[in-house]
Each structure stands twice: as C-alpha cells, then as structure tokens.
Amino acid sequence: MNWLTGVIPHLKALHVAMLLLWCAGLFALPLMLARHDPAIGQSDYTRMRKATHFAYTLCVTPAAVIAIASGTALIFLREVFVTWMFVKLVAVALLVTFHVWVGYAVVAVAERRKAPHGPKGMGVAITLLVALILGILTLVLAKPELGEVPLPDWLHEPRGQPLPFDVPRR
C-alpha cells in the first residue's frame, strides 16, 4: 500500500488538470453553440458545427471521464467518506447533467439547421455553470462539517425482510 501513497499527488494533479479542461470546455461549448447561425453561410456554419462536435467528443468528454475516474480513485485511496464529499458528488452529478445537456445541444445543432439555443439562453446556462463550479470548489476547499444527514431510524437498521425481487441463482 506504500507505493499507492506515492501515486496520490500524481493522481490529484491529473484530476485537477482534467477538471480544468472539462470546466473550460463546458464554458466554451455553450458560447460556441450560441454562435451557430445558419445565416452565416454554409461553409462557416459547417466549420463551426464540426468544431463544437470535435471539441465535445475529443476533448471535453474524455476530460470529464478521466476527471471522474481519477476523482473516484482518490476517494477510495484517501478514504474520504464524509458528508461534504457526498454533497460534492451530488454537485458533480449536476455538472454531468449539464455536460449531457450540452451534448444534446451539439447533436441538435448537427441535425437541425436552426440552433436550439440562442445567445440569450446561454447567459442562464453560464450562470448555472458558475454556481455549480463555485459550489464544488467551496465544498472541496472548505470541507465544511455538515454533520450526519438526518435519516429515519428504520434506514439505520436491517429489517430482516426479503428483497422485493427474485435474485437469479446460478
């Protein structure tokens, strides 16, 4: 297990680098999508559409996958099983949802001539993204003591009842 301790700083650096690339891409892609205007001419429209597609598929999405994988590894290597981490994971899930929404918009632009989201809607998207990223940074840097999440007593003890579905036997 000693060699794993030496890997943690490198894994953390990879995680931070991929987060920077992922978040920068999530800022850039909605702004690029807002520039999709069929009135600019077919060649320019095609160039812009291809640029957003390649940025999403070859840069932003791989960075997201590597950031999530390295972050997951860090959780287990550092054994950070505390409440603020679970709240952070919910915020990361919202960031993934934003990523999927951007992917939907990239595909929609490729399939339709009219952009599904104009420049006016991008202000709301960017504001949401800033709030998510600031929330995640606050949780990671402050590591607030959130205490235990209040759950009903029946969730803290086994009930001794069978599962509501059949488990297949091999």
Give CA–CA dist 39/117, Å, rounded. Answer: 15
Whether 77 has a pLDDT exceeding 80, the answer reads: yes
pLDDT single digits (tens) 89-132: 999 999 999 999 999 988 887 776 655 555 567 788 899 999 99
| pLDDT band, residue 154 (cuts 50/70/90) | confident
Q: Which residue has the higher pLDDT, 31 or 149?
A: 31
| Mean confidence (pLDDT) of the chain | 85
Whether 47 has a pLDDT exceeding 80, the answer reads: yes
Give CA–CA dist 34/123, Å, rounded. Answer: 10
pTM here is 0.81
Kindly list the distances between the CA atom of residue 163 and the CA atoms of 12, 77, 152, 155, in Å, as whole numbers in the listed order: 39, 32, 20, 15
Question: What is the mean pLDDT of the segment spanning 29-58?
Answer: 83
pLDDT at res. 34: 81
pLDDT at res. 99: 97
pLDDT at res. 167: 64
Give CA–CA dist 119/32, Å, rounded. Answer: 9
Question: What is the mean pLDDT of the segment spanning 37-61?
Answer: 85
Whether 165 has a pLDDT exceeding 90, the answer reads: no
Whether 32 has a pLDDT exceeding 70, the answer reads: yes
CB atoms within 10 A of CB 141: 8
Whether 21 has a pLDDT exceeding 60, the answer reads: yes
